[in-house]
Amino acid sequence: MPIDARALYKKYHDELSVLSRSLRKKFYPMQKAGYLTTFGDVEGEMMYMLIREGQPETVFEISPNAGWSTNYILAALTKNKKGTLHSFDILTHMFGRPMEETVRGNQCDLCDLSRFQLHIGDARETAKTVPGEIQFLLIDSCHTDWFAKWFTSEVFPRVRGTIIVQDISHWDRRESSSEATFMLDWLLREKIDATLLGDLEKDVRSTDLRNDIAERRGLRSNSLIIRAPFTHADAPVTFKPGLDELIKEAVSLIDRGDAVAADIVLSRIMHVLVTDPTRVNRHRFLMKLCELYQRIGDQDEAHRCAQRAFGVVLGSDYQQRRKLMPELLILLLRRHQWQLFFQLKCVLLLSPSSWGLMLKAKFQFLKNVLLRK
């Protein structure tokens, strides 16, 4: 299922540049209000361009949450001057505010809200209230296998166009959810062709096509793109070797006592982490490097890895930082990085919104220590 991402970016570059700046004005207020803005930049841009190209009349979105991804869909439909977005969410309120008011209030000024309809309730029932063919489908919802069984059997047959399923796989590793496992196994079993959006993103980021598009949430894509009616392939999704394989190789070398060869592999891992700032959970990989450098006796390099992990977490956007700081605190404690541990502890004490997560992380750490004993 070939998608020429470079050609799409050349065609819609000017529109994306304007859209990115309009969305950036919404990004910060949504972050400060506590709303999730977790749909990545390239994922959103690709969705916008595919809707512009496909000119769909009926679009389904399951689930919009606070409406960040909804912006991309509505902006594309508005530019098309055609089409209706039907969004389905089980939540009735968010932070005490009705969902209808929440989603509509989080749309940028490029969105025609008359094209938006929100359906509250279980999507397995509410989706039936909008009959007929679906030309574009976004699923970013309950990441479980039972929900995936429902939408592959009940919603996919209604689609004649593009399907995007979020949180399935990066270009080099699948997500650790039962939904991701089910979807990739389903594609293989049914021999259905699909595209990893991460592969398209990797190609586009090697060019200068996005250099002047404003960043909103610059993290790697993990969506799956399928075209319906389905085309068939013997190997629908393939993975390139990633960091997990390199880490396994380094661990094996360390276990065999070959510190020199292990150091070479660790340098390759560090190069990937330094040159790919869009990688999700970089702090975990860096702290794993910290552990491995300690195992080969290089305390200076171990400390540098911990310092970089510290910088990655503090440089994250508000929602990520709030979540990652308590996690990093425990990782620093495990690796005996005391200076950074106490620095981060001071930062956390000035961040009341993270106190609950910090206590939870400490409790889990103590529980694991006691169970290990």
- Per residue in 257-293, pLDDT (tens digit) is 999 999 999 999 999 888 888 888 899 999 999 999 9
> Per the structure block, which two tokens stand in for 110?
């490029």
Q: At residue 136, what is the residue type? A: F
Quick one: how far is CA 48 from the chain centroid?
Answer: 16
**Are the C-beta atoms of 150 and 144 separated by less than 8 Å?**
no
> Per the structure block, which two tokens stand in for 85?
């977005």
What's the pLDDT at 373?
Answer: 45
What's the pLDDT at 345?
Answer: 87
What's the pLDDT at 32?
Answer: 86
Domain 5-228: top CATH class:
alpha beta
| C-alpha radius of gyration, the chain, whole number | 22
Element (H, E) at 86: strand 84-89
Q: Phi first, then psi: give them for residue 361, nearest 5 degrees.
A: -65, -40
> Per the structure block, which two tokens stand in for 45?
């841009």
- Measure the CA–CA gap between 355 and 208, rounded to whole angstroms: 41
| Alpha carbon separation from 335 to 173, 260, 290 (Å, rounded) | 26, 22, 7
Segments in the chain below pLDDT 70:
1, 235-236, 239, 357-358, 361-373
What's the pLDDT at 13?
Answer: 96
What's the pLDDT at 34?
Answer: 85
Look at the chain and count its residues: 373
- Measure the CA–CA gap between 239 and 277, rounded to whole angstroms: 20
Q: Where are the domains of the chain?
A: 5-228, 243-367
What's the pLDDT at 277?
Answer: 82
- Measure the CA–CA gap between 188 and 364, rounded to whole angstroms: 37
What's the pLDDT at 1?
Answer: 58
- Measure the CA–CA gap between 238 and 245, rounded to whole angstroms: 15
Q: Which CATH architecture group holds 243-367?
A: Alpha Horseshoe (1.25)
Q: Is-same-fold flag (5-228; 243-367)?
A: no
What's the pLDDT at 368?
Answer: 66
Q: At residue 87, what is the residue type? A: S
> Per the structure block, which two tokens stand in for 371?
């169970």
